[in-house]
Amino acid sequence: MKRDNIALIGFMGTGKSSVAAYLNQADGYTVVETDARIVQAEGQSIQAIFDRYGEAYFRDRESQILAELCRGKGQVISCGGGIVLRDQNVEQLRQSAWVVLLSATPETVYERLKGTKDRPLLTGRNTVAGIADLMEERRAKYEAAADFTVDTDGRPIPAIAQEILRRIKEME
Ligand code: S3P
């Protein structure tokens, strides 16, 4: 079976953007990022969009942009961490991409994101326990959406990227 794209999903701080950038540099994939497209289209940061228009508006824009991106081919689509919250997004992804879930422990996510200011969903819960709670809330959705999961804890980006490409090859 062939699918047109590779989609990277997973919680904030699981390395989606870094792995996507590596797949671009090392393997020549075109990379598109839902968050970056939203920021570009709106001309403001994710935090500012949440502050001014609220989460529902952001989720609507995210779904619209994902639908556009899923029409393309040969891309790595790096998805915002909340993409799995809407079933329609998951259906769209599964029709056009191998859906790869990147995982990490709450401790790792905390370490990777502790200085961040552009993650509205972490406001008031940027602790290991807060991250663990939100991760647990979303776990079933991430797992249901994914073709397979790749652990990122303590692993170099090239090893993660190689595992993704190898496992997709096995399924094709
Ligand atoms: C979100 C994750 C963020 C961004 C927004 C909401 C989430 O993307 O889309 O802040 O709900 O998990 P990253 O996963 O790239 O941080």
- The ligand 1 atom at the shortest distance from the C-alpha of residue 47 is 10
- What pTM did the predictor assign? 0.97
For a substitution probing ligand 1, which of 119, 131, 142 has the most ligand atoms within 8 Å of its CB?
119
The pLDDT assigned to 37 comes to: 98
Q: Whose CA is nearest to atom 15 of ligand 1?
A: 80
Contacts of 88 (CB under 8 A, 6+ apart): 63
Contacts of 165 (CB under 8 A, 6+ apart): 23, 27
The pLDDT assigned to 1 comes to: 67
Burial class of residue 149 in the structure, from the number of CB atoms within 10 Å of its CB (0-12 exposed, 13-18 middle, 19+ buried): middle
Distance 119 CA to ligand 1 centre (A): 6
Block means of pLDDT (10 residues each) for the chain, length 172 residues? 91 98 96 98 97 98 98 97 98 97 98 91 94 98 98 98 97 89
Is the CB of 46 inside a 6 Å radius of any atom of ligand 1? yes
Q: What distance in Å separates the CA atoms of residue 90 and residue 48, rounded to the nearest whole number?
A: 26
Nearest to residue 119, comparing CAs of 66, 18, 33, 45?
45
Is the CB of 35 inside a 6 Å radius of any atom of ligand 1? yes
Alpha helices in the chain (DSSP H): 16-27, 34-42, 46-53, 55-69, 87-96, 106-113, 128-145, 157-171
Q: Whose CA is nearest to atom 16 of ligand 1?
A: 12
Is the CB of 141 inside a 6 Å radius of any atom of ligand 1? no
Distance 1 CA to ligand 1 centre (A): 30
- The ligand 1 atom at the shortest distance from the C-alpha of residue 78 is 15
Is the CB of 130 inside a 6 Å radius of any atom of ligand 1? no
